[in-house]
Amino acid sequence: MLKDYYKILGVPPNAGPGEIKKSFRQLAMLYHPDKHEDNEPSMARFMEIHEAYDTLMDPDKKEIYLQKRWYEQSMGRQLGGSEPLTAESILQEAVRLNRYASQLNPYRMDRDGLVEYQLKLFSSENIEILKNFNDQNLSSEIVRLSLDSGKHYNLSQAIRLAPFLQLLVPEKSDAYSSIEKFIAVRSQQEFWQKWRVPIVLMVTVVICYLIFKMSN
C-alpha cells in the first residue's frame, strides 16, 4: 500500500516546501531516537517521517510519488501511513509532546510552532475520537498535559489552544476550570506587562508629590 506522506507529516497535499520543512522539524524533534531510546514504535515513526520528508522535498522523487499517488486514488484505493489514532494513542501523543516541551528553553522555544503542533493533535477528527470514547479521566489528563506543555504561552497563544481543550471536558468540571484559569493568568500577565511602566511612573509621581507637600 502506498503511504500518504502528506498525512504522515500532517500537512495538506498543496503544502509548499516551507510548510513541509516546518512540520518535519517539529515531528522529527518530537520523535527523535535520542528522546525515545529502545522505543520501537517511536523509532518507526521517526523513520517514516524522514522518508516522507525526503520524498516530498526531492523534485524527482516527489514527481514519481505524485504519479503513484494519483494512480492509487484514481483506482479508489486507500493510502497507507501512520496507524489511525485512538483515544489512547492521542493521550500518548500528548505525553510525548509534554515531554518534548519540558526540554525546551522557555526563552528560546518556538511557542507558535508548539501551538501549531498541538492544534494538529486536536483536529476535528481527533476530538470526535475522544468524544466517542467518552472517558473523562483520559480527556482530563490530555487537558492537563496540554496546559502544562503550554505553560510558557502568552495570551494570544493560549487563546488559540483553549477552545479545542474546552471541547473535551464538561463545562463544570475541574479540567474546564483549569483551562479558564490558564487563560485568566495569562490575561493578568499581559495586563501587567502592558501597564507596568505607566503604573510605576504614576506611583512615583504621587510619592514625589506627597514628599514635596510634606516638606513645605
**Closest to 144 (Cα-Cα) out of 108, 168, 113:** 168
Q: State residue 61's pLDDT score.
A: 94
User: 67 burial class (0-12, 13-18, 19+ CB within 10 angstroms)?
Assistant: exposed
User: ∠ CA(13), CA(30), CA(108), 5° rounding?
Assistant: 105
User: 111 burial class (0-12, 13-18, 19+ CB within 10 angstroms)?
Assistant: middle
Classify 5-74 by CATH class: mainly alpha
pLDDT digits (tens, 9 = 90+) for 138-192: 999 999 999 999 999 999 999 999 999 999 999 999 999 999 999 999 999 887 8
Q: How far apart are CA 56 and CA 168, in angstroms?
A: 34
Examine the pLDDT at 82 and tell me if it is beyond 60: no
pLDDT digits (tens, 9 = 90+) for 83-142: 556 888 888 888 888 888 888 888 888 888 889 888 888 988 889 989 988 899 999 999
Say whether pTM exceeds 0.85.
no
Which part of the chain is CATH 1.10.287.110?
5-74
| CB-based contact 87:141 (threshold 8 Å) | no
Please give the single-letter amino acid code of residue 41: P
Cβ atoms within 10 Å, residue 161: 22
Q: How far apart are CA 88 and CA 129, in angstroms?
A: 10
Place of cell 485568566: 184
What's the alpha-carbon Rg for the chain, to the nearest Å?
A: 23
- In the structure grid, which three cell numbers stand for residue 152, read together? 510558557
Q: How far apart are CA 49 and CA 31, in angstroms?
A: 9
Examine the pLDDT at 75 and tell me if it is beyond 80: no
